[in-house]
Amino acid sequence: MVTVKEKILAAAAIMIEEQGISFRMDDLAKALTISKRTLYEQFRSKHEIVETILVHGAEDFYRQHENIVNNKSLTVEEVLNRYFRVRSNLYAAFSGESFIEIFLYIPQLQETLKTLFKKDWDLLKHYLLHQQEQGTIARYVDVDIIIMMLQGAVRRIVFESSNHHEDIYKYMPKVISVILQGITNKGEMNEKTSV
């Protein structure tokens, strides 16, 4: 059964997708056919609603990512591909412009999200380091650089693509393929050119 809070969050996510975070609480209450009082009994402010959506989305991503990296039957390639195919209905509402707008209006939220995102990236980093210890990933590979490349690709897609919630699923498999396969034909790379 869906709670009033969950209904509010879902409706707010739709409004954010349509209007950015400039949506009005009056309009949100009307869309839900509830009173503003009921709305404020659940959430103290619009900022709290936005923060809750983002934090719940980040936590949902983390849980899904944790399940993926803990699945011992998956190869490294399968883990990476699934990792970047995780979806969140709440997050679909946010574009790069939305994040910039949020950080301007709610600057304290930036630190909260940085902490949550770091936890998620650290999960992937520890998985890759473990795979390196197991011999699946070559010893010469700098896992920090791999994480940096993946983060850069994700940021670029999220902040620069108007269709980021679809483009992430289109481009990340290609990024992963380049990381796993490299950019040279087999046999062309030698020890001097390896990282």
Q: What is the pLDDT of residues 58-108, one digit of tens each?
A: 899 999 999 999 999 999 999 999 999 988 765 666 777 777 888 888 888
- Assess contact for 110 and 52: CB atoms under 8 A: no
Which pTM value belongs to this model? Answer: 0.83
% pLDDT > 90, the chain = 55
Residues 6+ apart with CB under 8 A from 169: 84, 85
Least confident range of 21-25, 117-121, 142-146: 21-25
Roughly how many angstroms between the first and final C-alpha of the chain, as a whole number? 53
Instruction: Say which CATH topology domain 51-193 has.
Output: Tetracycline Repressor; domain 2 (1.10.357)
How far are the Cα atoms of 27, 95, 106 from residue 99, in angstroms, in the given order? Answer: 21, 6, 10
